[in-house]
Amino acid sequence: MIVVILAQRYKLIKHIEIMAINKLLCNLSFIFLISFHFHFGLGEIRLNYYSESCPNAEEIVKEEVIRLYHKHGNTAVSWIRTLFHDCMVKSCDASILLESINGIQSEKISTRNMGMRNFKYINTIKDALERSCPMTVSCADVVALSARDGVVLLGGPHIEMKTGRKDSKESHLAEIDGFLPNHNDSIMFVLSRFQSVGIDVEGTVALLGAHSVGRVHCANIVDRLYPTVDPTLDANYAEYLKGRCPHPQPDPKAVEYARNDLKTPMTLDNNYYKNIMNNKGLLLVDQQLVSSPVTSSFVENMAADNDYFHEQFSKALLTLSENNPLSEADGEVRRDCRFVNSD
């Protein structure tokens, strides 16, 4: 009996010790995460960040986005793409908007950013904000909020987006290739790039659904058409693409494009997934979403349920928009989105 009691006490003591160790490890992990957070100087972003400093900031952005959309419909697509190309590279910090001047080399000259446009309208929105609240709203927040409102104009969901980002004082041109996936990369590499900013497989598949709107330059398509047609392309669709892209070596500066989605080219919907399941995806990465067992089930689910696609797209875009915000010390609020402040 004494042996049994001692054994039970021993087990109880070990159980308590294990629980204490686990608690200690959890606390240490929490402390490590806090240290990690402050070591990299992550900035504070929150909902309604400008509620006191510029109460109408988000409404001003929305009004300008709507006005520009009715004047230049393609701006809504540009806002989403700009957010992606900015936030995937180190931080959501509007570094992509910087021009080449005073030792800065613009990210716009990267081949990964070929075809990017409508940057000048970001300045239009920023100018409207400056008239109401000078030196208050960052260009990085203009990028994020315009993308949010652009999604709605394209028939997508409204996303509650945090604000308070700061603008970068430097370009990240040299690091773009290491952060921004290419359309010809393997699907596993693309997934790893998105995972590095906290977006899982499901979210990656959803974000690539942004390909349901806008267009792609022929320079990014011709490898699937010449010298021979990619056998995974639908034959009729391949003929259409050849009509849009008749040369195996198109001029990157020429206006030679093909639409991602012929049925609803300006609607953010799940037609993209239906198309790629029928071998009508423009880019190699689109086709790989269907052929890879890691992603194919998500493609099928999103093709079957537009609401599910919108839900996952919202979550993933929100995660992307919050990537590594700069601290007050590391960033600034630019007067002009094209240039670092001079004073």
Catalytic residue IDs:
85
Q: In 72-136, which ranges are continuous DSSP H helix?
A: 75-87, 119-132
User: How far is Cα 307 from Cα 267, in angstroms, rounded to an integer?
Assistant: 14
Where do we find the tokens 């081949």? Answer: 111
Residue 42 neighbours by CB distance under 10 Å: 16
For residue 198, the one-letter residue type is: G
User: How far is Cα 269 from Cα 266, in angstroms, rounded to an integer?
Assistant: 9
Helix (H, G, I), strand (E, B) or coil at 66: helix
User: How far is Cα 241 from Cα 237, in angstroms, rounded to an integer?
Assistant: 6
Helix axes 119-132, 139-153, angle to 10 degrees: 110
User: How far is Cα 5 from Cα 275, in angstroms, rounded to an integer?
Assistant: 69
User: What are the backbone dihedrals phi and psi of residue 215, each rounded to the nearest 5 degrees, phi first?
Assistant: -150, 165
CB 222 within 8 A of CB 249: yes
> Beta strand 215-217 with 257-259: parallel, antiparallel or unpaired?
antiparallel
